[in-house]
Structure 1
C-alpha cells in the first residue's frame, strides 16, 4: 500500500480556515430575504447574477470524481478524455440560448414539472423524479463520497466513515439551512479555492517535469521497471500509442471518435441541458440575460480541466510509474488494493509527494471544495424534485412552510441512504471509476435526451409516445447494463479469456448510446403518430416555437398543477427564521 504522510499544523490550519469560510458564507445566506417561499428556497429567489450562476454550474460538475476519475483516466490513456470537458462548452451555450428560454417561459421549477406542463398527465413527471432520485443516490452521491474517501485515505490515513460523516454533516448543515442560495454562494467561494489549489499543483508539476515537450517524451515510456524490461509479458503497463490523439480509432480506440461525436452528445445534452442540477442554476438567474451570461462563463471555465487535472494526471504517471502503471492484477492489489488498476490514485499521489508543507492543506481544501460543491448541488436538486414533483403529488394543498421542512428532511434522508450504500460501492472496487460512471449514463440518459429534444422542437410528440418510448428504451438499456455488470471484462494482464458476447466485447458504451438513441427516437415518433397530439392551446409557452406566446396554456382540472398555499411564512425572530 502507498505510504501515508501526516499533515503539518499549517495544513490543518488551512483546512480549518476553509471550513470556517464555507460555513460562514452558507449560514450568511440563510438570513437573506426571499428564502421563505418555494422560489426563494429552491431557486434562490430568482435574483442570482451571471457570475455566481456560472461559477456554480462549473463547481457543481467539478467533484471528487474529476480529481480521481478524470486525472486517473488521463494517466491511463492520455489526452482523449479531454473530449468530455471540451464537448461541454458547446452544450452549455445551447443550455443558455436554446433550452433555458423554454424552461423559463413555461414557469417550471424542475425538469419533471416541465414535462408535466408540456405533455400533461403525471406519469412522466413522477417517473423522471423517481429515476433521478435513485440515480443521484446510487451513482452521483456515492461516487463523490467514494472518490473523496480515496483521496483522503491516501492523504490522511483517516477512517473511511469518519471522513464521510464529517463531509456529509458540514455539507448538509448549510444545504438544509439556506437552500439553493447557500449552495450557489458557497459554490462561488469553492470555485476560487478549487482553481487556486489545482493551479498551484499544475505549476509545480510542470516545473518538475521540464515543460510540455519533456512531458510528451517521458509519457511514452512511463511504465514500471518490470514492464520496460519485459514489455511482451507486461504490455498492460505500457502507455497507449495514441495517447496524444483526441480523435481515436472507431474500432480500437478506448474513446472512439464516432462515439465521442454522436454518443457523447446525447450524454452531454442530458447532463448540461436537461439535468436538474445544472438547469436549476440558470433558472435561479434574475433574468434570461444573466442566465445566458452564466452559461457562457461556465463554458469558458470548462477549458481549464485539461490543464488542471488531465495534464497533472499524466505527469503523475511519469513521476510514479511503479505505482500508477502497475501491469498485473496482483501487483495493483499490492499497491492500492484494487486488482483493476491504480490510476485512480494518480492525483492523490501527486498531492502527497509533490505539494510543499502547508500547501497540502490548501489542496485538501480544494478537494473538499469540489466534493462538497457537487454534494450540495445534488442534495438541493434532489430535494427540489422530491418536494415539488412527488410530495405535492400527495399533498396538493401543502403550505410553503411544509414544503421547506420536507425539502430539508429529504436532504437528511439522502445522507443516510448514501452512507448505507457506501459498503456496496466499496465492494465493487472499480479501477475505472470514470468509465463506469459514463457507461451507466450511456444505458439510461439517451432516451431522456430524445424526449426533451422532441418535447421542445416537435409539437406532435404525445405523452403516450414519450412514456412508452422511454419504457422500451429502458428495457433495452437495462439489458445491456445487467450484462455489463454480470459479465465484466477480464482484468488487463490476467490470463483469463474474454468470453463475453459481442454486444459487450465489440460495442463501446458510447456506440451503444447511439443505438439506444435511435431506439428511443423511432419508438417515440411511431407511437406519437398513432396517438392524439395535444391541442395547440395546451402547448403555449412550453415549446421552442411557442415560447413567446402571451397567453398561458389551457389546463383541464385533472391536469392542473399541484395546489400550493402561497401564503408566505413571516418569521418573527432569529430562532423562528432558522427553523422556517
Structure 2
C-alpha cells in the first residue's frame, strides 16, 4: 500500500505534468470527441438497432475496410499503446513477436466461412457455452492502461479517470451496437496511426536517428539504484528478437510455439475478432479485412515499441526507476514505472496541439477496446448463456439483457483495477499476456481438435476445458499470491512458478488439455455424422444428409426479419459434438 504522503507526492507530480497543456490541446481533444460522436450517431442510423442482427452483427452488411480497421483497433487498444511501449522500455524489441504472430490466418478465414454459412451470433459453434465465461474474463484487462495515461497526462485520480471513460463508452456502446463500434474504430485507427507517426519521428529526431537507438538505450541507467543488484541495467539482448530458452525474459520456444497457441485463440475464436467478421457482406470481405489487419499489425513495432525504448533512454530516472520510493514518487507504484514510457514521451516531446492529438490517440485506443469488450461480452452472455436458460426469450428481452450486461461489466471493471496496479513488475503488457496464457490454451486445444479430428465429442471438449481451466486458474492464483519481487528483494515464490515461463506454461497447458480431450473422446460415443457436418476440416465439402439443410441468412435482403432468422438458424446450427 502507498502511504498518504507518498500518494500526495505522486499526485502532485501528475498535476505538474498536466500544467503543460494549452487551450489548443483542449480544442483538439474536444474536436476528437465531437467527431467520434458524430460518426457513432451516423453509423448507428445505418442499421436497425432494435433487432439482434442490427445490434449484434451491424446488419451483416459491412465492407472489408472498416472491418479490417476495427480488427486492428480492437487488437491494439490502450493496453498495447501503454503496455507495448512499457515492455519495450523494460526489455527491448522482443515483445514485437506478440504483434507479428498472426499466422493462423487461413484457419481464421475457414472458421469464418463456417460461421457465415450457419449465421450464428457468437464465435462458439461446436464449443458452445463452455468457453463463453473464459472470453468474458479475458476481456477485462484493457481498462487500467487508459486510465493510467489520463492520470499521467491530466493529473486525474485513477478511479475517477476509469469511471468517467467507462460510463461514456458504455453509453456509446449500449446505444449504437456493433455498427457504431466498427465505424468509430475506423476513425480511431486513422487517428492512432497519424498520431503515432508524428510522435515516432519526433522521438527519433531527439536521439539522432535509428542508428543511435541501441547505444543510447544501453546507457539508460537511473541515477538512484539498488546496491548489489543489476535490475537497473538495460538488457544486453534488448535488440534481439529471439532470447535464450532458459534465461530470456521472452524465451524463443515460448515466443514461437507458445505464442502461436495464444494467437490461435485470439484470431480464430475470440469473440471480439469473430463478431466483426460475422458482420461482413460475404467471405471476400472477411478475407480482405483479415489481410488489411495483418498489414496494420506490422506497424506497432515502429510506432509503439521503439518509442518506448527511446523514452527510457531519454528519461531513465523515471521510466527506468527501480528504487521503490522513487517509483512511488514518479508513478505511484513500487514495482516500476515502465508503463509511463509512452505518456511520458508525449508530455515531454509533443508541442501544443499535437500533445492534445496524442491524448486523443490514447483515448481512441481505449474507447476502441472498451466498445469491443462491452459489445462482444454482452453478445456472448446473451446468446450463449441467457438464451440457454430462456430459449423462448423474445428479441426485445435479449436486447435488454445485452445492454444490462454492459452495465454490469462496467462495475466489474472498476473492481478489477487494484489487481492491475500491482501486477507483473509494473509491465501491463506482461500481465495481459500471462493471464491469457493461463486461460486461453485449453480453448485453442479444443478448437484445434474439434476442427481437425472428427472423433472429438462433447464430453471430451467439456472435460478438456474443465481440467485446463482448473490448472490455469491454479497457476494464476499462484501468480497473484506471489507477486514479482522488487529490485534487490529475494524471491520467495515456488520454483514451479518462476522456473516455468508463462509462455512455456501455455504449451504445457495446451498439451494437457489435448490429452484429456483425446482420452475422454475415445472412451465415449463418437458424434454423429449430422453433428459434424460442415463443421470440421474433413467434412467442409460434404453434401448435407438431412431433410432440412442449413440455410444462410441473406446479408442483402430481408433486413427487417433478420433478428427472427438468427433465432431460427442458431437453433439449427448450434449443435455441439
> TM-score when scaled to structure 1?
0.89
- Distance of 1:39 and 1:81 partners within structure 2: 38
Q: CA deviation at 1:428?
A: 5.7
Unaligned runs of 5+ in 1: 116-123, 556-564, 570-580
- Distance of 2:75 and 2:547 partners within structure 1: 37
Deviations 1:217-257 (A, max 9, x none): 11111112355xxx973521111010110011001100000
Q: CA deviation at 1:178?
A: 1.6
Question: 2:96 matched to which residue of 1?
Answer: 82
CA contact (8 A) 2:29 2:357 kept: yes
Whether 1:514 and 2:512 are equivalent positions in the alignment is no
Given the alignment, which residue of 370, 377, 398 partners 1:375?
370
CA contact (8 A) 1:541 1:553 kept: no
Given the alignment, which residue of 113, 126, 130 partners 1:127?
130
Whether 1:103 and 2:118 are equivalent positions in the alignment is no
Deviations 1:470-525 (A, max 9, x none): 11222222222222221233222x2x322332211211111111111110111111
Whether 1:71 and 2:64 are equivalent positions in the alignment is no
- 1:407–1:550 distance in 2 versus 1, CA, 3 Å: farther
- Distance of 1:434 and 1:394 partners within structure 2: 37
Question: 1:340 matched to which residue of 2?
Answer: 335
Q: Comparing 39-48 with 283-292, which one deviates more in the overlay?
A: 39-48
Given the alignment, which residue of 90, 104, 121 partners 1:91?
104
Question: 1:322 matched to which residue of 2?
Answer: 317
Question: 2:56 matched to which residue of 1?
Answer: 42
1:235 match: secondary structure: coil
- 1:179–1:410 distance in 2 versus 1, CA, 3 Å: same
Deviations 1:361-408 (A, max 9, x none): 111000110000000001110111111111212222222222222222
Question: 2:236 matched to which residue of 1?
Answer: 241
- 1:14–1:407 distance in 2 versus 1, CA, 3 Å: same
2:426 match: secondary structure: coil
Deviations 1:529-580 (A, max 9, x none): 111111112211222222334437689xxxxxxxxx96869xxxxxxxxxxx
Whether 1:528 and 2:521 are equivalent positions in the alignment is yes
Given the alignment, which residue of 498, 502, 527 partners 2:495?
502
Q: CA deviation at 1:430?
A: 5.2
Q: CA deviation at 1:84?
A: 0.3
- Distance of 1:554 and 1:23 partners within structure 2: 48
Q: CA deviation at 1:436?
A: 1.6
Question: 1:311 matched to which residue of 2?
Answer: 306
- Distance of 2:270 and 2:440 partners within structure 1: 10
Question: 2:170 matched to which residue of 1?
Answer: 172
2:101 match: secondary structure: helix
Q: CA deviation at 1:352?
A: 0.6
Q: CA deviation at 1:104?
A: 2.2
- Distance of 2:136 and 2:47 partners within structure 1: 29
- Distance of 2:563 and 2:218 partners within structure 1: 63
2:311 match: secondary structure: helix
- Distance of 2:34 and 2:168 partners within structure 1: 10
CA contact (8 A) 1:83 1:246 kept: yes
> TM-score when scaled to structure 2?
0.89
Question: 2:3 matched to which residue of 1?
Answer: none
Question: 2:188 matched to which residue of 1?
Answer: 190
Question: 1:578 matched to which residue of 2?
Answer: none
1:341 match: secondary structure: coil
1:249 match: secondary structure: coil
1:532 match: secondary structure: coil
Whether 1:12 and 2:15 are equivalent positions in the alignment is no
- Distance of 2:58 and 2:154 partners within structure 1: 36
- Distance of 1:244 and 1:436 partners within structure 2: 22
- Distance of 2:235 and 2:173 partners within structure 1: 43
Q: CA deviation at 1:27?
A: 1.4
- Distance of 2:367 and 2:543 partners within structure 1: 41
CA contact (8 A) 2:423 2:431 kept: no
Given the alignment, which residue of 378, 387, 402 partners 1:407?
402
1:236 match: secondary structure: coil
1:111 match: secondary structure: coil
Deviations 1:405-464 (A, max 9, x none): 222222122123322433454466951221121111111110100101111111100110
Q: Comparing 380-389 with 471-480, which one deviates more in the overlay?
A: 471-480
- Distance of 1:278 and 1:442 partners within structure 2: 18
Q: How many residues align?
A: 539
1:62 match: secondary structure: helix
Deviations 1:142-172 (A, max 9, x none): xx32111211111111233332233123212
- Distance of 2:79 and 2:539 partners within structure 1: 39
- Distance of 2:510 and 2:101 partners within structure 1: 18
Correspondence 1:148-547 to 2 at 5 A: 148-226=146-224, 233-426=228-421, 431-492=426-487, 494=488, 496-547=489-540
CA RMSD of aligned residues (A): 2.1
Unaligned runs of 5+ in 2: 1-9, 549-559, 565-577
CA contact (8 A) 1:42 1:180 kept: yes
- Distance of 1:532 and 1:52 partners within structure 2: 44
